[in-house]
Structure 1
Amino acid sequence: MNNRNRGKNTGDDTLFGTEKEIDKLKSAAQDMQYLLSRKYAEKAASELIGNRYKLKTRQIQAFRSASASEIQVQSRRAKELKVADLKGKMIYLDGFNVLILLESILSGAYIFEGADGCYRDLSGIHGTYKRVNQTFKSIELVAGFFRKAELQKLHWIFDQPVSNSGRIKQSILEFARENQLNWEVDLQYNPDKFLADNAEIIASSDAWILDHCRHWFNVISYLAGEEKLKVNLIKMF
């Protein structure tokens, strides 16, 4: 077992742990949605708002990831499925997106709920994925979802260029064999495009995927409620 997790960074309690900072973040997210809805460029808008509220880099990352234009939010909501819609279906799961977000939740990291209802974190893999103490539990949670939703099949998709993607693929396939789960795991060089082009139903909170997919399911929000996960959640809207 590795002595590591995806919990808070040093200083996160200062950036996200007080009512004053949370209020600034919420105001920034609302301003961001206003500008995005009026077709301002995302990078320029986030810099403008970050300067206005004197926010640090991780705070800017947080409100930026949680924000979307009004049209984007409406479009995503229109394509979102309920758990009852999934029975007997095959789902494609955005591997690193879902796995790392679950690991972050279980590690007590700050999680941010966006205007589209999706949970997002501040973790990054920077080209290399490293298993943490919460990895196995995260895979177990996905297995619980698979069974409760009565899915026909679950197809994990991971980034081929990310170091150790082959290892996590093998770990998940072994878990699936041991637990008699109808799972597949594939590595793709451009997983976002692959998912948007090929999957009928996707489990992800990646903004680009949600804007380009056919249908999606909010698996993290579902698991948080169904499994009563303790989520260090900041609702941005």
Structure 2
Amino acid sequence: MSPDRRKHRGPHPDDRGLFSDEVVPILREAGSHLSWLLTRGYTIRSSLKLVGDRYQLHERQRIAIRRASCSKQSRDDRTSRLLSPSETRGQALQVDGLNVIVSVEAAIAGGVLLLCQDDTIRDLASVHGSYRKVDETTLAVRLIGNELETTAPESTEWLIDRPVSNSGRLAEIIRTEATRRGASWSVELVTNPDRILKSSELVAASSDSAVLDRTARWLNLTRNVIDTYIPEAWIIDLRLPPSASN
């Protein structure tokens, strides 16, 4: 396998066609059907194959509707535990480091972002055991820092996946930014951030669906950063229309 030499977290060469304005309504309809099946207890694997085959979706389009869709029960449950920035002020916050940073990098670089049915923003980037600093990394951390400064939690702990290669370098970038702005962030390299976030009583900043289904309270940090600082981001709205019912 050739080494990862990407300098940006931008779009795939095929994304302009796969996520064109003409295609998005089809993806939204497919996502609605996928959520309908999930709400009724069908497995994600069988449901995604059924819907993907029916709409003849490309693999990246299938990934998109999978990441954007959830059951009505999951959506309502996640929403019930979501805190606004003002509600997070003065609270202890734990940041799902790679999860948030990679999405903000993608936003800066013009990559496809998904506005999902639980109102989070997720990306289509893949970090499978290896993280590589890209041109957008330092700016991404800085913009996240701006939002954290505005939100003003009592404390901020960044959790970075130790098993992911180059995670130590990313931790140093975050620590450097903390020093630059005089922030008292802690940055921890841990084996499994998801496990910590799922069981913690602290506020979790993540858009990972597995985390959101288990964590006590959460902050939609990624979306807050992108909405505030990257209004030009390429966001595909795959939320259900208000009239849709699961």
**How far apart, in 2, do the equivalents of 1:22 and 1:175 lie?**
37
- The question of whether the paired residues in 2 share the 8 Å contact of 1:33 and 1:68 is answered with yes
Provide Cα deviations, 1:9-68, integer angstroms capped at 9, x if missing partner: 11111100231x112110110001000000000011001110000001000000000000
Aligned to 2:7: 4
The answer (yes or no) to whether the contact 2:138–2:173 under 8 Å persists in 1 is: no
**1:227 to partner: Cα distance:** 2.4
Contact 1:195 1:202 in 2 (8 A): yes
CA contact (8 A) 2:107 2:230 kept: no
2:63 maps to which of 61, 64, 72? 61
Between 3-12 and 38-47, report the one with greater CA deviation: 3-12
- Counterpart residue type for residue 178 of structure 2: A
2:172 aligns to what SS in structure 1? helix
**Cα deviation, residue 188, structure 1:** 1.6
Counterpart residue number, 1:105: 107
Match of residue 14 from structure 1:
17
Residue 228 (structure 1) shift: 4.9
Hey, what's the Cα distance between the residues in 1 that align with 2:50 and 2:123? 22
Give how far 1:127 is off: 1.1
**How many angstroms apart in 2 are the aligned matches of 1:175 and 1:65?**
30
Listed as ranges, the gaps of 5+ residues in structure 1 are none
Contact 2:159 2:193 in 1 (8 A): yes
In the alignment, residue 77 of structure 1 is paired with which amino acid?
A: T
Deviates more, 1:166-175 or 1:54-63: 166-175
CA contact (8 A) 2:94 2:197 kept: yes
Aligned partners of 2:203 and 2:219 also within 8 Å: yes
Q: Distance in 1 between matches of 2:119 and 2:199?
A: 23
Choose the corresponding residue for 1:150, options 142, 149, 152. Answer: 152
User: How many aligned residue pairs are there?
Assistant: 235
Partners of 2:80 and 2:185 in 1: CA distance: 28
Q: 1:129 aligns with which of 124, 131, 136?
A: 131
| 1:1-237 correspondence runs (5 A) | 4-19=7-22, 21-237=23-239
Residue deviations 1:156-187 (CA, integer Å, cap 9, x gap):
11111100111111221122123210101111
Q: Identity over the aligned pairs, expressed in percent?
A: 30
The offset of 1:149, in angstroms, is: 1.0
TM-score, length of structure 2 as denominator length: 0.92
For the residue of structure 2 that corresponds to 1:212, the secondary structure is: coil
- Distance in 1 (alpha carbons) for counterparts of 2:230 and 2:122: 18
- Runs of 4+ aligned structure 1 residues displaced above 2 Å come to 224-229
Name the SS for the 2:213 alignment partner: helix
Structure 2: gaps of 5 or more residues: 240-246
Amino acid at match of 2:90: G
Contact 1:91/1:201 (8 A) holds in 2 = yes
CA distance in 2, matches of 1:22, 1:192: 31
